[in-house]
């Protein structure tokens, strides 16, 4: 037997490699392997795996395999139809190395799935010269198997958040296990009905297990949490509060842009969104100078901006009474900024005051939301499934499996 046999590279059960042909004259070199059924075995039904008798011979199909060296590799597979005693029907024979609905081997499918974890569908499709639709279908199939089911087990503190697929248009709701950072569920929209779908899959016992839900000051979410798990405290955590306050500062900034006298001033304030919303510690020196100049030049923006850190400080209190003592003067200072967006924010703050101070009771640590939001941004940028929210949701669940919770690692 030749030591140069290629057969060991194709250890597929129940078939034998009958012939190999290499074509070097194609636009790209190609290897064709003819696979025949190994007559020593009875064929299996692809549906249920039961061994049956041969119903008909001579069916053929070409299945793409992983490339062999520089050559595209195709399997010319001969297979049979089997009379399945279990299904009581003639069925296609099971091929261990490929799915009957696909024209690629499991090996190639696995490689595609692995690459799709870090690359775009298009970038994976190009070198293989595959249709991007095929690549996406393979990735989605594996994702569905791994992440399609919602795992409601062991949840005690949740975070509910919304993300915009297209700004101002299409929203999705994300539910996160706050203690581990795992994305538990994602659904289209951000309405009461959206959260109803999430809660519908939960048992009464699992709902009872929820102690707190962190979220934005968004009424539909508040309403549904109070309805489905009234014992759970609603918590406006630091992450959401800072996010909401960032939007207030941005509204103040936008109005200052409109009011600016000269074109130069307008451009200056207009380009300052980033420095205002970003954490000061994370700004590069040049941007810090920019921020300092802006705050010196515009009193109103400065007054709003200076409220940011004291607002965060309220979250460091572990006593509700002390937190309230800090919140009252904060609101007075915020009134002085004299802006409708700020007044709206204060009104909501006052209305939800009890809930805002809930973090004092639930010592919620660093929010995993920021990390998850960053991952979402990366996946969005890679343009995965913008037009397919289901695929997008699976990608995000895959990217955010969560770390082990404190209780688990015990």
Interacting positions 63-92 with Zn ion (CB under 5 A): 84, 86-87
Nearest to 104 by CA among 82, 137, 127: 137
List the one residue from 26, 48, 164, 406 that touches Zn ion (CB under 5 A): 48
Q: How far does the chain reach from its first CA to its final CA, in angstroms?
A: 58
Residue 45 vs 195, nearer CB to Zn ion:
45
Shortest distance, position 37 Cβ to Zn ion, whole Å? 17
Neighbouring CB atoms inside 10 A of 68's CB total 18
Burial call 81-107: b when 16+ CB within 10 Å, e when fewer: bbbbeeeeeebbbbbebbeeebebbee
- Coil, strand or helix: which one is 186? strand
Shortest distance, position 79 Cβ to Zn ion, whole Å? 15
Shortest distance, position 46 Cβ to Zn ion, whole Å? 8
* 8 Å CB contact between 275 and 290: yes
CA distance 160 to 196: 13
Shortest distance, position 48 Cβ to Zn ion, whole Å? 3
Interacting positions 85-144 with Zn ion (CB under 5 A): 86-87
CA distance 327 to 136: 50
Residue 50 vs 211, nearer CB to Zn ion:
50
Residue 26 vs 48, nearer CB to Zn ion:
48
Residue 47 vs 188, nearer CB to Zn ion:
47
Shortest distance, position 47 Cβ to Zn ion, whole Å? 4
Site string for Zn ion, 326-365 (x = CB under 5 A): ----------------------------------------
* 8 Å CB contact between 17 and 7: yes
Total number of residues binding Zn ion (CB under 5 A)? 7
Shortest distance, position 43 Cβ to Zn ion, whole Å? 11
Q: Which residues contact 393 (CB under 8 A, 6 or more apart)?
A: 172, 186, 187
CA distance 153 to 148: 15
Residue 45 vs 159, nearer CB to Zn ion:
45
Site for Zn ion contains 45 (CB under 5 A): yes
**Contact positions vs Zn ion (CB under 5 A):** 45, 47-48, 50, 84, 86-87
């Amino acid at each position: 037997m030749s030591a140069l046999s290629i057969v060991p590279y194709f250890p597929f059960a129940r078939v034998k490699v009958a012939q190999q042909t290499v074509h070097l004259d194609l636009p790209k070199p190609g290897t064709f392997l003819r696979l025949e059924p190994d007559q020593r075995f009875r064929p299996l039904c692809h549906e249920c795996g039961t061994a049956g008798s041969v119903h008909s011979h001579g069916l053929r199909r070409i299945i793409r395999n992983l490339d062999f060296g520089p050559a595209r590799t195709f399997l010319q597979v001969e297979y049979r139809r089997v009379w399945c005693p279990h299904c009581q029907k003639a069925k296609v024979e099971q091929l261990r190395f490929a799915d009957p609905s696909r024209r690629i081997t499991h090996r190639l499918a696995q490689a595609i799935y692995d690459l799709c974890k870090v690359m775009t569908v298009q970038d994976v499709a190009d070198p293989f010269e595959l249709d991007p639709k095929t690549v996406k279908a393979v990735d989605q199939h594996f994702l569905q198997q791994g992440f399609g089911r919602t795992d409601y087990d062991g949840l005690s503190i949740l975070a509910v958040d919304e993300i915009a697929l297209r700004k101002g248009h299409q929203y999705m709701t994300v539910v996160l296990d706050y203690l581990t950072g795992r994305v538990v569920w994602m659904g289209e929209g951000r309405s009461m009905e959206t959260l109803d779908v999430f809660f519908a899959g939960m048992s009464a016992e699992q709902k009872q297990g929820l102690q707190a839900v962190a979220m934005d000051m968004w009424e539909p979410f508040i309403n549904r949490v109070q309805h489905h798990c009234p014992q759970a405290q609603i918590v406006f955590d630091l992450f959401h509060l800072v996010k909401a306050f960032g939007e207030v500062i941005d509204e103040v900034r936008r109005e200052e842009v409109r009011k600016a006298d000269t074109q130069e001033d307008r451009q200056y304030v207009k380009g300052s969104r980033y420095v205002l919303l970003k954490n000061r510690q994370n700004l590069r020196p040049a941007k810090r100078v920019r921020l300092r100049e802006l705050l010196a030049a515009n009193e109103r923006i400065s007054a709003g901006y200076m409220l940011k850190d004291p607002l965060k400080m309220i979250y460091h209190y572990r006593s509700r009474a002390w937190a309230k003592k800090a919140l009252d003067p904060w609101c007075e200072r915020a009134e002085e900024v004299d802006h409708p967006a700020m007044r709206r924010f204060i009104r909501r703050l006052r209305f939800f005051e009890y809930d805002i101070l809930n973090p004092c009771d639930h010592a919620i640590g660093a929010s995993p939301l920021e990390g998850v939001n960053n991952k979402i941004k990366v996946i969005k940028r890679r343009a995965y499934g913008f037009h397919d929210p289901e695929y997008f949701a699976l990608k995000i669940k895959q990217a955010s499996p969560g770390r082990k919770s404190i209780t688990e690692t015990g």
